[in-house]
Amino acid sequence: MTFGEKLKKARKEAGLTQEQLAEKINVSRSAIAKWETDKGMPDIDNLKLLSQLVDVSIDYLLDEDEGISFNEIKEPINLDDYVKTGKCRNKKDAVCLAKYHDADSIIPLVRVRKLSMKEWIVDAIVEPNILLVGDYLKTGIIGFYLVEKQGKQYLVSVSKDFITTKELPEKIYDNKFVIGNYRFKRARYELI
C-alpha cells in the first residue's frame, strides 16, 4: 500500500473525515486529499501529528513495502519443463497454472515500476521509458499473477528459474493497484 492509501485507511479507522483531520492539524481539507491520493507529502511536523491522530506509526505510513506480508515461498523451477496449453499464453502461465491448478482464480498481471517525480523528469528528458526498460533488463522478464485460493490472495511471480509466492495481507479487488515500488494491472484474460 502507498502512503496515501495507508493514511486514508487509518483516518477512516480513527473515525475522522478529511475535514476533521485537517482541522486538528491546521491544514486545508485539500491538503489531506492530496496526501491520500499520493499527490503530495506532509512535512515532518504534520507527519508526526498525523501519526498520533490516526494512531499508527510513522514507519507504517512511510514503508510502502508493507503491502506484502513476510510469508514468502521461493521454489526453483526449470521453465523449459513446461508447455503452454489451453488458456496459457506462455510458459510462465503454464508454471503458475501447474502450481495452482486447484486455485479459485488465477489472473495474470502487468507490472510497471512506479517512478518518483525526480525519476519521471529524468526519464522524460533523457529518453522516454529508458528507466522502465532498465528495470526490465535488471529484473529480467517475469510473469506476475494474482492467485486466489481458499479465501486468501497471493502475488505470484514466475521467472526463468523460480516461482515465488507472497501472501497478501489484504484482499485486492481493484483492477489497478500498487504494491511497493510497482503498479499492477489485471490482464484481459484469466487462467482459471
Output the pLDDT for position 133. 60
**Domain covering 3-62, topology:** 434 Repressor (Amino-terminal Domain) (1.10.260)
Residue 123 is which amino acid?
A: D
> Which residues on adjacent β-strands are paired with residue 161?
none
Give Cα separations from 65 to 3, 17, 61, 168, 182 (angstroms): 10, 26, 10, 11, 10
Over the stretch 61-77, which tens digit does the pLDDT of each residue have? Answer: 877 654 444 477 889 99
Among 90-94, 120-124, 186-190, whose mean pLDDT is lowest? 120-124
Give Cα separations from 12 to 16, 19, 115 (angstroms): 6, 12, 28
Q: Are 165 and 124 in contact (CB under 8 A)?
A: no
Split at pLDDT 50, 70, 90, the class of 121 is confident
| Angle in degrees, 0-180, between the axes of helices 29-36 and 3-13, rounded to the nearest 10 | 120
Q: What is the DSSP letter of 134?
A: H
CA distance 15 to 13: 5
Mean pLDDT of the chain: 85
Share of the chain above pLDDT 70, in %: 85
159 pLDDT more than 50: yes
130 pLDDT more than 70: no
Q: Are 148 and 190 in contact (CB under 8 A)?
A: no
The residue among 121 and 109 whose pLDDT is bigger is 109
Output the pLDDT for position 55. 83
Annotated domain spans of the chain: 3-62, 67-186
User: pTM here?
Assistant: 0.60
CA distance 189 to 87: 8
